[in-house]
Amino acid sequence: MALPPGSFGLPLIGDTINFLQDAQFAKKRHQQYGPIFKSSIFGQPTVFMSGQEANLFVLSNDNQYFVATWPASTRALLGPLSLSLQTGANHQNRRKLLYQAFGPRALVGYVGAMENITQRYLDKWAKMETMTWYPELRNYTFDVAAKLLVGIDNGSETALGHNFETWCYGLFSIALDLPWTRFGKAKKGRKLLLAELENIIRDRQQGTPSGNDALSLLISARDDEGNSLSLDELKDQVLLLLFAGHDTLTSAIATFCLLLAQNPDVMAKVRAEQQQFPATEPLTLEQLKQMTYLEQVMREVLRLVPPVAVIFRTAINACEFGGYEIPKGWSVLSGITQTHQDSQLYPEPDRFDPERFSSERSAKPFSYVPFGGGLRECLGKEFARLEMKLFAAKIVRELEWELLPDQDLNLIAVPTPRPRDGLRVKFRRTTMK
């Protein structure tokens, strides 16, 4: 059986640089070769696939044909014990244990602190009037993650926050371990992060777990055999949770802010829905569930600009898709962005149209996958949805914002989509009561 069409690019580095720098890399090649093509990135022969059937094939064959994989830089920086690098029964066991920090009971306990941090930032932004928003949104999501996952206040202003930024910057890079490379700096950042996390964990283990953050829940958690997480595993898992609760969420929230500024009709409808809820009372999970139009907006934000663009896998057995062979050992990337741009699934796919989610049409399985799917669907999915929705509800009640002129709003794709010039905006308080 033939290999997919395509080119391996340059010797050794293949198409890695193009992949990292060109947000349209996969789209251009899909237009050239069709729904499946071969390339070489991060030193590995790689099959790129796109579409609902590709996602269905990849996500429903975990552990049979595929296992989760990441580029070498990501694997090294996440750490060997990270849930994202576990496979098979071990992955399922650890996932079940970590889920305790993201179940319904845990989420209810997070709402109050999440709202308090959001309010603090809204008050600060109202006073600033104009600013570059994306770095502020990164600080906001890290403060929420640090408080709810690790129990630290103002996390973005701590050593943990500064080292985390350095570490994040190298996650998807060429794994060249030299002091001046992005990867080399990130590796040093990881060491410093682990030292910080070890101090936090030891303090918590010696004290009385508060139960109000994920770390306390994980320290107390036991698997089916009654075993707790080791110190080293706690460090790797908490680092993963901080990343999952920060980078992708910042991207999603920034995209929401950008798209609402560009679509005042949608902004008006979101505001009109918020008029139904008492602005002076704390938000509750029950209220958030009743915001049906805001839910449609969030779904459309994640369709149009999914924070994670592709699903990474490695073929553990040779298999066939679309009439082509996928050899054992090759990397496989199934495109989330490309699927969400499929005009057969989403008419006028480039248009921001929350109404497309106004009815629960019987969507094809794996046609909407902003959080992945199958056995490895994003563990923090409901945490992310809660934070996005709470942030959105509060900001449209309290602030109006407009985009400043003369800025580049094109998105940098890696590691997560963000406006090239950082999203420069002007704020004013709303007249909404």
9, part of any domain? no
Q: In the prediction, which pLDDT does 208 show?
A: 64
Neighbour tally for 380: CB within 10 Å: 23
> Does 209 sit behind a cis peptide bond, omega within 30 degrees of 0 on the bond before it?
no
Residue 247's pLDDT is: 84
- Whether 3 is covered by a domain: the verdict is no
Coil, helix or strand at residue 286: helix
pLDDT, residue 325, reads 95
Residue type, 268: A
Which of residues 389 and 208 earns the better pLDDT score?
Answer: 389
Which pLDDT does position 86 carry in this prediction? 83
The contacts of residue 346 (CB under 8 Å, 6+ apart) are 303, 340, 356
Q: Tell me the three state secondary structure of residue 351.
A: coil
| Cβ(310)–Cβ(334) below 8 Å | yes
The tens digit of pLDDT for each residue in 298-313 reads 999 999 999 988 888 9
Residue 142 falls within a domain, yes or no?
yes
Task: Pick the closest to residue 59 from 321, 265, 239, 325 (CA basis).
Answer: 321
In a domain, 230, yes or no: yes
Residues 163-191, mean pLDDT to the nearest whole number: 87
Does the pLDDT of residue 116 top 90, yes or no?
Answer: yes
Beta strand ranges found along 23-112 (DSSP E): 36-41, 44-50, 66-68
CA–CA dist 104, 100 (Å, integer): 9
Average pLDDT score over the chain: 89
How many distinct structural domains can be found in the chain? 1
Q: What is the pLDDT of residues 215-266, one digit of tens each?
A: 888 888 887 788 888 899 999 998 888 887 788 899 999 999 999 999 999 9
Residue 253 to residue 247: CA distance in whole angstroms: 10
Amino acid, single-letter form, for residue 67: V
Rg of the chain over Cα atoms, rounded to whole angstroms, equals: 22
Per-residue pLDDT at 174: 78
34: its two tokens: 């069709």
Contact (Cβ atoms closer than 8 angstroms) between residue 249 and residue 141: yes
4 within a domain of the structure (yes/no): no
What range does the domain containing 387 cover?
16-429
pLDDT exceeds 80 at position 156: yes
Tokens of 191: 């060491």
Nearest C-alpha neighbor of 224 from the set 102, 105, 92, 107: 92
Q: Is residue 368 domain-resident?
A: yes
Residue 285 belongs to some domain of the structure: yes
pLDDT of residue 362: 59
- CATH number, domain of 133, equals 1.10.630.10
- 58 lies in a domain? yes
